[in-house]
Chains A and B, each alone.
Chain A
Amino acid sequence: MSTRTTSPESTSTPAVKQNKTRAIAIGEARPQWWLYVTLGLGLIVVVTPFLWMVLSSLKPEAEIRQSPPTWWPQTLTLENFTELFTRLDFPQFFTNSAVVAVFVTLGNLVFCSMLGYAFAKIDFWGRDWLFRIVLATMMIPGVVMLVPLFVLVSKMGLVNTYAGLILPFLAGPFGVFLMRQFIGALPDELIDAGRIDGAGEFRIFARIILPLCKPALATLGILTFLGSWNNFLWPLVVASSEDKYTLPVALALYSVGQNENQYGLMLAGAVVVVVPVLIVFLILQKHIIQGIATSGIK
């Protein structure tokens, strides 16, 4: 499109210049402090509700209901958390959520990257229509499948089991689409080289492709874990006794309509629920950034 972009100087830019142009590259010719201020202001906007959630979980119920709401707790209390932990069988619900989320995430990472690789790099019989069907199911409103899916799962005898909670989400179209888009960008030469060396497709996938997919796998891992961790309707329907409830289902017990909500417990629950998600995000977000830039060279 633009002939300028191929200008040969680009490869011989001195390091000093590179630093300067990096600042330009983001699309702002102004000094960096300007960006820090803008991003900082934006940060206030995006984290305020989160901070309010954390601070309010430390307030007594009456103060949470106060209008206008208070910002800093007038009375600092841990009663919401102590009540939460005494009233809920917390270890059980946490274990259930963790088991489901870990299996669902691993399943999606493995199965979706496998199919994503096949879609992106192997020209096989039936590829195009299979991809279209997979993509199309992403677009079907989930609620329409709830009843038929539950009837199916109950016919299979999986009601109130971990299998019933996990299997329907073990491999989703979202992950396939994401992995296909990312793997498609990797140079074919890598794969052709592997094929010429006589490596099998699985070996190429496991040894060459997967190590290059770190940013995509990290992204998929974060989003799948988050989705599974927060899933509400399916675990509620499948779990017929409380020992199979996941955290969001258990916490929803305190939401009993506009007037009778126990906000203190709900907010304390929301804070507790978010911690594992944040840990997963903190671990994986670094890989999103590192990934390709360093690994694409080989």
Chain B
Amino acid sequence: MSKILRVSVAALAVTSMLALTGCGRSDAAPEGDTSAAAVAEGAATGTITVWAMGTEGEKLSDFAEAFSEENPDATVKETAIPWDAAHDKIATAIAADQTPDVSMVGTTWMGEFASTGALDPTPDTIAADSFFPGAWGTTVVNDVAYGMPWYVETRVMYVNTAVAEKAGVSPSPTTWEELTATSAAMQATGGAASGITLQAGQQGAWQTLMPFVWQAGGEILDADGNLTLDTPEFVEALAYYQSFFTDGVAPKDVPVGTLESDFVAGNIASFVSGPWHVGILNEAGYEDFTLSPLPKGKQLASFIGGSNLAVFKNAENRDGAWKFIEWLSQPDTQAAWYEATSDLPSVPAAWESGALATDPQLAVFGTQLETAVAPPSVPNWEQIATVIDTELEKVTKSGLDPQEAATSIQQQAEAIGTGL
């Protein structure tokens, strides 16, 4: 055994010497040229390979055909990939240089993938000012934009109207004080077991917490790119979030799959979530709920998510890829895309026609998007977000002091670094 061990250690040492001598990262920034090259004029030609996840991957084929009608010399070859492992698939594809021309990329992965140098900077055929500012922000890594915000989602308040009426309060609280009072009243006199449900921790809880931080005037990074997760504003938001749990208005544990039925039954009076819940509630035959933008602290804010489309540097058909993306960002296409998938358009101009312009529930999302904020696209964001999730869970469930939690978050986040 020991002999084998010695031999293999020696072999390893030799290999690693060969591999590593004289190497080493000189610069953490993405290498190569970060200025975007121009895209050729005229119609798209050739084959464009596209990866997209879930429903988007499935629905894309109809749009690919429509694109080919306008660009007869171009064909779009789309491959649907499962959300579950999309991150792994894209990462391994980058490692082995097996990337397609275009891929759908989750907004919070942008920083990581852009910093590999595998993404192509966005050319000027796609204009920043045609998108919601929060949505465009998700494509910007270290001041360079990569890709196009394809569709968006944002978080709003869902309130059970009947419970609010019974409690004699407005189902649309507009300030922090009102939200506290409304949720308490709906629990005390509205017959609800819980006045509000806020995610108490675990994966993605930061997406419910951060709107309150932004409302309080907090930020994740300051102007110089330093992490600011222990500011008084951050602590204030944590304390406000915690108050719902210490007052017993928000439940500490909501078993998976029970939120919707409890909300319909009036056991849970309100919750914060994205547009997909409209569909789920309607499918359950329930329409008697009120949507409203999240309440105002010092300012209005919510979380913006969704997905972007990015072109890879090694794309075989770079021009065709950008032309396809540009076409998908046109207001008409975006509006048609909403009809097909219920994905909210990232382009405000697409909100001026059809259901998007007339439906009152959708209008709430439209309003919220104007003030919705995205976390900065830094490579290590997902890792920092997990720290927030973990500490937030201690705040809500074990009563950890908000100041201590913020200090701990800042400390751990600084140790991780932004990765830029």
Q: Do A and B touch, yes or no (CB under 8 Å, in the complex)? A: yes
What residues of A have a CB within 8 angstroms of the CB of B91 in the complex? Answer: 147
User: Besides the contacts A67-B257, A146-B92, A236-B88, what 6 more A-B pairs have beta carbons closer than 8 Å?
Assistant: A132-B1, A132-B4, A150-B92, A249-B82, A252-B84, A257-B83
B77, B85, B96, B280: which contacts A252 (Cβ < 8 A)? B85
Contacts of B284 in A (CB 8 A): 62, 65
Residues 220-234 of chain A, each 1 if its beta carbon lies under 8 Å from chain B, else 0: 000000000000110
User: Which one of B49-57, B208-216, B292-300, B370-378 contacts A?
Assistant: B49-57
List 5 A-B pairs, minimum CB-CB distance, nearest first. A252-B82, A256-B54, A154-B96, A67-B261, A150-B92
The answer to whether B83 and A233 have CB atoms under 8 Å apart is no
- Given the known inter-chain contacts A67-B261, A146-B92, A159-B96, please indicate yes or no for A255 contacting B83, CB distance below 8 A: yes
Assuming the contacts A87-B58, A233-B85, asked whether A258 and B256 have C-beta atoms less than 8 A apart, the reply is yes
Q: What is the distance, in angstroms, from A131's C-beta to the closest C-beta of chain B?
A: 12
Task: Report whether A241 and B89 are in contact in the complex, using a CB–CB cutoff of 8 Å.
Answer: no
Residues of the B chain whose Cβ atoms lie less than 8 Å from the Cβ of A133: 4
Cβ contact within 8 Å between A259 and B280:
yes
Point out the residues of chain B lying under 8 angstroms from A150, CB to CB. Answer: 92, 95-96
Counting CB contacts under 8 A, is B79 at the interface? yes
Does A237 have its Cβ within 8 Å of any Cβ on chain B? yes
CB-CB under 8 A from A255, the residues of chain B are: 82-84
| Residue interface bits A253-270, CB-to-B below 8 A is 1, else 0 | 101111110000000000
Specify which of B54, B80, B93 is in contact with A260 (CB 8 Å cutoff). Answer: B54
B88 & A146 in contact (Cβ 8 Å cutoff): yes
Indicate if B169 sits at the interface (CB-CB under 8 A): no
Quick check: A236 and B89 within 8 Å, CB to CB? yes
What is the bound-complex CA distance between A22 and B195, given in angstroms?
64
Interface readout for B231-263 with A: 1 if CB under 8 Å, 0 if not? 000000000000000000000000011101110
B277 lies within 8 A of A259 (CB): yes
User: In residues 1-20 of chain B, which contact A (Cβ within 8 Å)?
Assistant: 1, 4
Interface of A is mostly: helix
Binary per-residue interface labels of chain B (50-89) against chain A in the complex, 1 for a CB within 8 Å, 0 otherwise: 0001110110000000000000000001011111110011
The CA of A236 and the CA of B79, in the complex, are separated in Å by 11
Interface string of A83-120 (1 = CB under 8 A from B): 00001000000000000000000000000000000000
Give B377-415 as 1s and 0s: 1 = Cβ < 8 Å from A's Cβ atoms.
000000000000000000000000000000000000000
The complex places the Cα of A67 from the Cα of B256 at a distance, in Å, of 10
B82 pairs with A240, CB closer than 8 A: no
**What is the minimal beta-carbon distance from B75 to any residue of chain A, in angstroms?**
13
Q: Which residues of A have CB within 8 Å of B88?
A: 146, 233, 236-237
Question: Within 8 Å of chain B (Cβ to Cβ): is A151?
Answer: yes
Of B85, B100, B283, B285, which one neighbours A240 at CB under 8 angstroms? Answer: B100
- The verdict on B288 contacting chain A, using a C-beta distance below 8 Å, is no
Task: For the complex, give the distance between the alpha carbons of A241 and B1 in Å.
Answer: 45
Residue picked from A151, A237, A260, most chain B C-beta under 10 Å: A237
Give the residues in chain A near B287, CB-CB below 8 Å.
none
26 A-B pairs within 8 Å (CB atoms) are namely A62-B285, A65-B284, A66-B261, A67-B260, A67-B261, A87-B58, A129-B4, A154-B98, A159-B98, A236-B82, A236-B88, A236-B89, A237-B89, A237-B93, A241-B79, A242-B79, A242-B80, A252-B83, A253-B54, A253-B81, A255-B84, A256-B54, A256-B55, A259-B280, A260-B54, A260-B276
Residues of chain A within 8 A (CB-CB) of B89 are 236-237
- Is B165's beta carbon under 8 Å from chain A? no
Smallest distance from the beta carbon of B6 to chain A beta carbons, Å?
A: 13
Question: B384 → chain A, closest Cβ, in Å?
Answer: 21
CB-based nearest B residue for A60: B283
Interface size on B, residues (CB 8 A): 38
Per-position 1/0 for B255-277, Cβ under 8 A of A: 01110111000000000010011
A61 proximal to B (CB < 8 A): yes
In the complex, A91 Cα to B89 Cα: how many Å?
A: 24
Question: How far is the CB of A210 from the nearest CB of chain B, in Å?
Answer: 31
A137 to chain B, nearest CB (A): 13
A-side contacts of B79, CB under 8 Å: 240-242
B376–chain A nearest beta-carbon distance, Å: 23
A213 CB, min distance to chain B CBs, angstroms? 30
In the complex, whether B97 has a CB less than 8 A from a CB of chain A is yes
Query: A147-B95, A150-B92 in contact; A253/B258 too (CB < 8 A)?
Result: no
Q: Which residues of B contact A87 (CB under 8 A)?
A: 58
Q: Please determine whether B96 and A232 come into contact, CB atoms closer than 8 angstroms.
A: no
Chain B residues with CB under 8 A of A260: 54-55, 276
Nearest-CB residue, chain B, relative to A240:
B98
Complex Cα spacing A258 to B53, Å: 15
Most buried by B among A129, A147, A259: A259
Encode B150-177 as 1/0 by CB contact (under 8 A) with A.
0000000000000000000000000000
Please measure, in the bound complex, the distance between the C-alpha atom of A153 and the C-alpha atom of B96, giving whole angstroms: 9
Q: Is the CB of A61 within 8 A of B82?
A: no
The answer to whether B95 touches A232, judged by C-beta atoms less than 8 angstroms apart, is: no
A residues near B262, Cβ cutoff 8 Å: 67
Q: Known interface pairs A146-B88, A146-B92, A233-B88. Does A253 touch B261 (Cβ–Cβ under 8 Å)? A: no
Closest residue of chain B to A87, judged by CB?
B58
Most B CB within 10 A of own CB, among A132, A249, A253, A255: A253
Are A62 and B256 neighbours in the complex by a CB distance under 8 Å? Answer: no
Enumerate B163-195 residues with CB–CB distance to A below 8 Å. Answer: none
Name the residue on A nearest B265 (C-beta). Answer: A67
Contacts of A62 in B (CB 8 A): 283-285
Q: Please provide the chain A residues from 9 to 45 with a CB less than 8 Å away from any CB of chain B in the complex.
A: none
The CA-CA distance from A62 to B277 in the complex, in Å, is 14
Q: For B89, B92, B276, which residue has the most chain A Cβ atoms within 10 angstroms?
A: B92
In the complex, chain B residues whose CB is within 8 Å of the CB of A241: 77, 79
Determine how close the nearest CB of chain B comes to the CB of A238; give it in whole angstroms: 9
Tell me the minimal C-beta distance from A152 to chain B in angstroms. 9
A80 CA to B46 CA, complexed, in Å: 37
Report the separation of the CA atoms of residues A154 and B260 in the bound assembly, to the nearest whole angstrom: 45
What is the minimal beta-carbon distance from B186 to any residue of chain A, in angstroms?
Answer: 21
Residues of B contacting A256 in the complex (Cβ-Cβ under 8 angstroms): 53-55, 83
Quick one: closest A residue to B78, CB to CB?
A242
Output the least CB separation between A97 and chain B (Å): 15
* B58→A237 contact, CB < 8 A: no
- Whether A236 and B96, one on each chain, are in contact in the complex, defined by CB atoms closer than 8 angstroms, is no
Inter-subunit contact A147/B82 (CB<8 Å): no
In the complex, the answer to whether B57 meets A253 with C-beta atoms within 8 Å is: yes
Q: Which of B28-44 contact A (CB under 8 A)?
A: none
Contacts of B4 in A (CB 8 A): 129, 132-133
